[in-house]
Structure 1
Amino acid sequence: MPHSRALRNRFVDAPGSLGERLRLARWERFRRCFPGIENMSVVDLGGTAEMWLRAPVRAKHVHLINLESHPAGLPDWITAENADVTDPEVAAGLSAEGGYDLVFSNSTIEHVGGHSQRRRFVSAVERLAPLHWVQTPYRYFPVEPHFVAPGFQFLPLAARARLVRRWPLVHSRPDSPESAMDAVVNIELLTRAELRYLFPRSVILSERVLGVPKSLIAVRNRAA
């Protein structure tokens, strides 16, 4: 397992890896879309403090919303809470607090659980701020990004659940058939048509690798 983790780091996570270079390019594109980000209050749906602390850009304030726990000792420009924004009551409470300029979300919408949940997620995005940046991996990129496995997303569900327990590039290897099924069933990669349907008033950008779309980004960088 340590060898597998080192191999994944080489391609995805480590400084200088392909994944890190792509993330830096994405941040630069984000900065071009939102040149005033240093003066903006951002609500990040599904993000982590580590991502913002490593980022080459810094917002005036970032509020993290995630189902996972957050670290203690955050800097004063980052606040965090555990919540599910697909819950209409949670979204209403956040909206009532107000004050956000931008909704940011990176590789989250494909995890929320089905089309109706994605619609609730989009409703929260629209409600929380006038501007947004919502990125998601593209379903038809040849390599599934969560497992770094070619064609993985096109396999039958049972085959994916079996493979994820043996594939060397997984982030955390499931320890049972049930946890393996959980790992794969909760990821639903989106197509361009679906993202355009969910965000009809947004610009849909492509993030490409060797000319092939790897990720899609729904952007609204002007208030309606």
Structure 2
Amino acid sequence: MLKTKIADPTRPGSLAHSARAKRWDELLRCFPDLAEMHVLDLGGTPTAWRGAPVRPAHVVTVNLDPRTARHAESGITPVVGDACDLSLPTHMVTRRFDLVYSNSVLEHVGGHYRRRQFADTVHSHADHHWVQTPYRYFPVEPHWLFPGLQWLPFRARVAVSRRWPHGHVPRAGRAQATRDVQEVELLSAAEMRSYFPASSIWFERFAGLPKSLVARK
């Protein structure tokens, strides 16, 4: 499948695997002490960190899906919670984190108000952050792997989601396809800067074109 050959980040040789490796290189260039850091991962999972090139001293993952809390292991503490309205257990907020990390989550939180809340969570929990999100103006929509999907009218996007067999979003009936389309809002660089005005914005590129945005500080 197209997803396996191109967009499966766990498959060596895929474009997604190569892109993830380059992203990790840049992350470690910015934060060479990552292995000694206490990291808050908004929207992440313990499984994602299990195969990471570098494991921080401790990671707290925050995810709405309670299934992610079943995979706790040494050095990783999963919390079921809302990254836009975060309430951590008391013993976790006695000190600030060294870094807030987030990968491909901001486009899913739901509208400007929720994105503003997400950014406030990032700013309030650490002095440093790395927040990545796909770029709205890359020619291929990254969730469906469909060219220009993000620029089509809503009804057309739902129709594509119901029938297109590639990408990360499975085909579904009209109601589920509608929810899937509603749940993704890709951001522009100007929007990213508005949420993270004190950060530098790194453009992750593919074939010379900006593919995703990273707000880093």
Report what 2:176 is aligned to: 179
Match in the other structure for 2:80: 82
- Aligned mate of 2:6, from 4, 11, 15: 11
Q: 1:125 aligns with which of 122, 127, 132?
A: 122
Does the 8 A contact of 2:39 with 2:99 survive in 1? yes
* Inter-partner Cα distance in structure 1 for 2:187 and 2:201: 12
1:95 CA drift (Å): 7.5
- Cα distance between partner residues in 2 of 1:139 and 1:101: 29
One-letter amino acid matched to 1:159: A
Provide closer, same or farther for how the CA distance between residues 100 and 192 of structure 1 changes in structure 2, counting only shifts above 3 A.
same
The question of whether the paired residues in 1 share the 8 Å contact of 2:136 and 2:188 is answered with yes
Matches within 5 A, 1:63-102: 63-68=60-65, 69-70=67-68, 72-87=70-85, 90=87, 96-102=93-99
Cα distance in 1 for partners of 2:191, 2:177 equals 26
The CA deviation string for residues 135-190 of structure 1, in whole angstroms up to 9 with x for no partner, is 01000000011111110100111111111111111324242211101101111100
Q: 1:85, 1:91 within 8 Å by CA — same for their partners in 2?
A: no
Q: Secondary structure at the match of 2:110?
A: coil
Does residue 36 (structure 1) correspond to residue 33 (structure 2)? The answer is: yes
CA RMSD of aligned residues (A): 1.7
Q: Distance in 1 between matches of 2:177 and 2:83?
A: 25
Q: Secondary structure at the match of 2:35?
A: helix
Say whether 1:164 aligns with 2:161: yes
AA of the residue aligned to 1:142: P
1:56-97 deviations in Å (ceiling 9; x for gaps):
121111110011121534321111011002126x27969834
Q: Structure 1's 162 and 93: CA in aligned 2 closer, same or farther, altered over 3 A?
A: farther
Residues 43 and 103 of structure 2 are in contact (CA less than 8 Å); yes or no, is this contact kept in structure 1? yes
* CA distance in structure 2 between the aligned counterparts of 1:85 and 1:41, rounded to whole angstroms: 17
Show structure 1 runs of 4+ deviating over 4 A. Answer: 91-95
Extract unaligned runs of 5+ from structure 1. 1-5
**Aligned mates of 2:121, 2:81 — CA distance in 1:** 12
* Stretch moving more, 170-179 or 58-67: 170-179
Note the alpha carbon deviations across 1:90-117, whole angstroms, 9 max, x for none.
2796983434110000011111100011
Once residues 152 and 167 of structure 1 are traced to their aligned partners in structure 2, the CA distance between those partners, rounded to angstroms, is 11
Say if 2:197 is the partner of 1:200: yes
- Percent identity between the two aligned chains: 45
In the aligned structure 2, how far is the partner of 1:28 from the partner of 1:181?
Answer: 37
Question: What do residues 175-209 of structure 1 show as CA deviations (whole Å, max 9, x unaligned)?
Answer: 22111011011111000011111111001110001
User: What is the TM-score when the length of structure 1 is the normalising length?
Assistant: 0.90
Q: How many residues align?
A: 214
**What's 1:3 paired with?**
none
What is the DSSP-based 3-state SS (H/G/I as helix, E as strand, rest coil) of the residue aligned with 1:165? Answer: helix
Of the three residues 212, 219, 223, the one matched with 2:209 is 212
